[in-house]
Chain A
Amino acid sequence: MIDRHPWLDALAHAVLIAGVVLVAFPVYVAFIASTHGPHDFMSGLVPLLPGSEMVANYRAMLTDGLSSSGAPPLGGMLWNSLMMALIIAFGKIAISILSAYAIVYFRFPFRAVAFWMIFVTLMLPVEVRIVPTFKVVADLGLLDSYAGLTVPLIASATATFLFRQFFLTVPDELMEAARIDGAGPLKFFRDVLLPLSRTNIAALFVILFIYGWNQYLWPLMVTTTSSHYTIVMGIKRMSDVADALPQWNVVMTTVVLAMLPPVVVVVGMQRLFVKGLIETEK
């Protein structure tokens, strides 16, 4: 233990508070902006106290959208983002836990090759392979569909790697005890490995949900009709208007709404999430 010292304590607090302010202030500004009318920004000054248009702004964005910038009502975009984030999170978890299971527990030809191939794809995130991936998705006719939005993002080396590392810490005797207890490979996976991975799955889910939710470049490329727009690209479209000033109040309204689902996920799964990151007890 490091010695506690009154003014080291104070310094630590100062640093932490500064960090919190640094993160929270922009969020505060965004929220305040979303409570003002469209003309409060003309002066070029950002208001720091709440305005009176909060209810109107939120109602307008949830029901009508912002027709001038071609953004549909937020409900649809939020739904698309939610679907995308959920499909990516569940898809990644399902595929990576199964492939990690195969790599750790089964002896098959070219097992090491399979592992290294998965590992190498770590170096090929979507941004790097975006052109060929787009071509493939377009040729498969998957533009403007949930499949097109999510499938190319699902294959996941990171998650496979994390599950592999976790499985390697599970003692072999557990698998052997299960074999003697008459559990075949799938039963062992379902009855033992999956429950043991619970906290890891939860932690990954939080990370992957936010990863999926925040996707910007890929949805921008594969969606062309507004019915498949996601909220993150919607924000961009709204703030990017031609021949006019962006309506910052409604953009910020959208931003605040877009922040809510990830916040809900993080808060709701916080306990499991932290456990999954720190727990080593088996």
Chain B
Amino acid sequence: MSAIEIAAVSKVYAGGVRAVSDVSLSIADGEFIVLVGPSGCGKSTLLRMIAGLETITSGTVAIGGRVVNEVDPAARNIAMVFQNYALYPHMSVYDNLAYGLRNRGVPKADIDARVAEAARMLEIAPFLDRKPRQLSGGQRQRVAMGRAIVRKPDAFLFDEPLSNLDAKLRVSMRGEIRQLQRRLGVTSVYVTHDQLEAMTLADRIVVLNGGRIEQVGRPLDVYHSPASTFVASFIGSPAMNLADAEVAGGAVAIGGQVVASGVGGIADGKLTVGLRAEDILPTPNGAGVPFAVRYIEELGATRLVHGSVEGRHLTMALSPDLPLADEIRITVAADRLHFFDGESGRRVGR
């Protein structure tokens, strides 16, 4: 178990593609970090640089206080779980788990004990003699986890390990990974493009965009105060509503209509206003602004209502108990608004 220190790391691929730009991140011992971002944002590249599978163009990566830029993957004492599991097809489950241990000369009895323990933890003991192709996707996933666990590594690195599973299995494996990581207390870096996975698993989320860190923070902090319009629209489902606005003398106006006044700390000019779907409230008896309902998505516990206010698209979350009309009236608490700079998209104000 160790802390991981990433300092000003960049990666430029041979073809000139700049996959990761100047990323710095301190990961505490035992922490569960999730790297999240859209496809192609450099998540895997960053993870693979920590693993040692990709060279580091500039900057340093240190694991447990030791700079590992030039250290072989095997000598970094990390374990990695791949999206396609990467199990050795011709080896039994037992051999898949034992292979790495044999290579480092762990005594046979020790290997037996470690494999047995991992197999018990992951409930794969009945399959130890099988070949990977004789296992279901979920079981293969467990074997891949087992291969990571038996190593007793300083860090677990996961690259979209649940993407090949069906939705139901993904949710249950997600829970198991989280519990396992808590129990073992091993520092973990987990890559996913699924913001829900990020929210549910992480101690801290790292949102990447175009090879740069947009925001680092605890899931709820990222959700409640996104650092940029990118994070606002990436984290949370449905995505945060965003609208162009102007600010003059602390009064924020969307299309000429003032939505908040007395807002401090924002220079006059263009602004983007953000609003979560659940922060929009229906109002009774004629108060608020008119909201033209366009279509509805029923989620069971809630109901997503898509529509528009003065031609601007808006999504709100309503309780399914409320009666719906073609046009309803809504209001917004001014303190629930998020403000982002109109040019850079960075959060301003509160």
* Interface set of A (CB-CB < 8 Å, partner B): 171, 173-174, 176-183, 187, 191-192, 195-196, 198, 281-282
The residue on B at minimum CB distance from A192 is: B88
- What residues on A are CB-neighbors of B52 within 8 Å? 179
- What residues on B are CB-neighbors of A183 within 8 Å? 74, 99, 103
- What residues on B are CB-neighbors of A195 within 8 Å? 90
A177 touches B90 (CB 8 A): no
- What residues on A are CB-neighbors of B104 within 8 Å? 182
- What residues on A are CB-neighbors of B78 within 8 Å? 180
B99 touches A173 (CB 8 A): no
From A173, A180, A187, B84 is in contact (CB under 8 Å) with: A173
From B82, B83, B89, B99, A181 is in contact (CB under 8 Å) with: B99
- What residues on A are CB-neighbors of B317 within 8 Å? none
B103 touches A179 (CB 8 A): no
B100 touches A173 (CB 8 A): no
From A171, A174, A176, A282, B80 is in contact (CB under 8 Å) with: A176
- What residues on B are CB-neighbors of A191 within 8 Å? 88, 99
Other than A177-B88, A182-B104, A281-B133, give 14 A-B pairs with Cβ distance below 8 A. Answer: A173-B83, A173-B86, A176-B51, A176-B86, A177-B86, A178-B88, A179-B53, A180-B73, A180-B100, A181-B74, A181-B99, A182-B103, A195-B90, A196-B89
B231 at interface by CB-CB < 8 Å: no
B79 at interface by CB-CB < 8 Å: yes
A182 touches B86 (CB 8 A): no
Taking the closest CB of chain B, its distance from the CB of A178, in whole angstroms, is 8
Q: List 21 A-B contacts (CB under 8 A).
A: A171-B84, A173-B83, A173-B86, A174-B88, A176-B73, A176-B86, A177-B86, A177-B87, A178-B88, A179-B53, A179-B72, A179-B74, A180-B80, A181-B99, A181-B100, A181-B103, A181-B147, A182-B74, A182-B103, A182-B104, A183-B74
A180 touches B74 (CB 8 A): yes
Taking the closest CB of chain B, its distance from the CB of A263, in whole angstroms, is 30
Taking the closest CB of chain B, its distance from the CB of A272, in whole angstroms, is 14
- Alpha-carbon gap, A187 to B90, bound state (A): 15
The residue on A at minimum CB distance from B104 is: A182
- What residues on A are CB-neighbors of B80 within 8 Å? 176-177, 180
- What residues on B are CB-neighbors of A173 within 8 Å? 82-84, 86
Q: Which of B67-83 contact A (CB under 8 A)?
A: 72-74, 78-80, 82-83
From B72, B86, B90, B100, A171 is in contact (CB under 8 Å) with: B86
B74 touches A177 (CB 8 A): no
- What residues on A are CB-neighbors of B133 within 8 Å? 281
From B73, B79, B86, A174 is in contact (CB under 8 Å) with: B86
The interface bits of chain B over 48-63 (1 if a CB of A lies within 8 angstroms of the residue's CB, else 0) are: 0001110000000000
* Interface set of B (CB-CB < 8 Å, partner A): 51-53, 72-74, 78-80, 82-84, 86-90, 99-100, 103-104, 133, 147
Q: With A187-B103, A191-B99, A281-B133 in contact, do A177 and B82 touch (Cβ < 8 Å)? A: yes
- What residues on A are CB-neighbors of B72 within 8 Å? 179
- Alpha-carbon gap, A3 to B53, bound state (A): 52
Taking the closest CB of chain A, its distance from the CB of B146, in whole angstroms, is 13
Taking the closest CB of chain A, its distance from the CB of B37, in whole angstroms, is 21
From B89, B99, B147, A282 is in contact (CB under 8 Å) with: B89
- What residues on B are CB-neighbors of A196 within 8 Å? 89-90
Taking the closest CB of chain A, its distance from the CB of B26, in whole angstroms, is 23
A182 touches B88 (CB 8 A): no
- Alpha-carbon gap, A178 to B90, bound state (A): 13
- What residues on B are CB-neighbors of A179 within 8 Å? 52-53, 72-74
The residue on B at minimum CB distance from A180 is: B73
Residue among B52, B79, B86, B133 having the largest count of chain A Cβ atoms under 10 Å: B86
The residue on B at minimum CB distance from A181 is: B100
- Alpha-carbon gap, A195 to B91, bound state (A): 9
The residue on A at minimum CB distance from B48 is: A176
- What residues on A are CB-neighbors of B51 within 8 Å? 176, 180
Taking the closest CB of chain B, its distance from the CB of A245, in whole angstroms, is 57
- Alpha-carbon gap, A182 to B74, bound state (A): 5
- Alpha-carbon gap, A173 to B104, bound state (A): 20
B90 touches A182 (CB 8 A): no
Taking the closest CB of chain A, its distance from the CB of B298, in whole angstroms, is 40
Taking the closest CB of chain B, its distance from the CB of A41, in whole angstroms, is 55
- Alpha-carbon gap, A47 to B103, bound state (A): 66
The residue on A at minimum CB distance from B82 is: A173
- Alpha-carbon gap, A183 to B86, bound state (A): 14
- What residues on B are CB-neighbors of A182 within 8 Å? 74, 100, 103-104
From B82, B100, B147, A176 is in contact (CB under 8 Å) with: B82
Taking the closest CB of chain A, its distance from the CB of B90, in whole angstroms, is 4
Taking the closest CB of chain A, its distance from the CB of B63, in whole angstroms, is 13
Question: Ordered nearest first, which 6 A-B pairs have the shortest CB separation?
Answer: A181-B100, A173-B86, A182-B74, A182-B103, A177-B86, A195-B90
- Alpha-carbon gap, A192 to B78, bound state (A): 21
- Alpha-carbon gap, A91 to B51, bound state (A): 38
Taking the closest CB of chain A, its distance from the CB of B242, in whole angstroms, is 38
- Alpha-carbon gap, A107 to B90, bound state (A): 27
Taking the closest CB of chain A, its distance from the CB of B115, in whole angstroms, is 14
- Alpha-carbon gap, A265 to B239, bound state (A): 65
Residue among B51, B78, B87, B89 having the largest count of chain A Cβ atoms under 10 Å: B89
- Alpha-carbon gap, A122 to B104, bound state (A): 43
Taking the closest CB of chain A, its distance from the CB of B33, in whole angstroms, is 19
- What residues on A are CB-neighbors of B103 within 8 Å? 181-183, 187
The residue on B at minimum CB distance from A197 is: B90
- Alpha-carbon gap, A220 to B317, bound state (A): 87
The residue on B at minimum CB distance from A187 is: B103
- What residues on A are CB-neighbors of B99 within 8 Å? 178, 181, 183, 191
